């Protein structure tokens, strides 16, 4: 679900046309899924509030200590998602400890 949200955000926040195609590079490295794109700001939209990124960070915080890394360097936007191993038992334990049913 996080990957879909990140790709949707990339399309929402960047110019994409035949003249300026948007390329999203998705790859893995050392148990981390990396999503990168060149920053091509849209001229017809306001700046986002980062709610989608905050939502992803909260999801990761719920399941463990591995954190999502977000960076903007050299006109490249990068999100690094640690790959998580989630078992039925770890989900149940986390739900129990957070009083979620």
Summarised one tens digit per residue, pLDDT across range 76-90 is 999 999 987 766 655
* pTM (2 d.p.): 0.77
Summarised one tens digit per residue, pLDDT across range 35-71 is 999 999 888 765 666 688 998 998 888 877 689 999 9
Residue of 87, 81, 32, 79 whose CA lies nearest to 60: 81
| Residue at 100 is within a domain | no
| Residue at 74 is within a domain | yes
Total count of domains within the chain: 1
Those residues with Cβ within 8 angstroms of residue 71's Cβ, 6 or more apart along the chain or in another chain: 77, 78
Interval 9-26 mean pLDDT? 93
Task: Supply the range of the domain harboring residue 71.
Answer: 2-93
- Residue 101's pLDDT band, with cuts at 50, 70 and 90, is very low
CATH of the domain at 62: 3.30.980
Those residues with Cβ within 8 angstroms of residue 39's Cβ, 6 or more apart along the chain or in another chain: 14, 72, 75, 76, 77
């Amino acid at each position: 679900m996080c990957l879909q949200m990140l790709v949707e955000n990339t399309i929402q926040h960047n110019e994409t046309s035949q003249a300026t195609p948007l390329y999203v590079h998705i790859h893995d490295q050392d148990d981390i899924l990396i999503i990168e794109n060149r920053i091509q700001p849209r001229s017809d939209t306001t700046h986002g509030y980062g709610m989608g990124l905050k939502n992803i960070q909260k999801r990761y915080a719920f399941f463990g200590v591995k954190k999502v890394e977000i960076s903007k360097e050299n006109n490249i936007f990068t999100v690094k998602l640690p790959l998580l191993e989630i078992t039925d038992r770890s989900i149940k334990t986390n739900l129990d400890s957070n009083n979620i049913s």
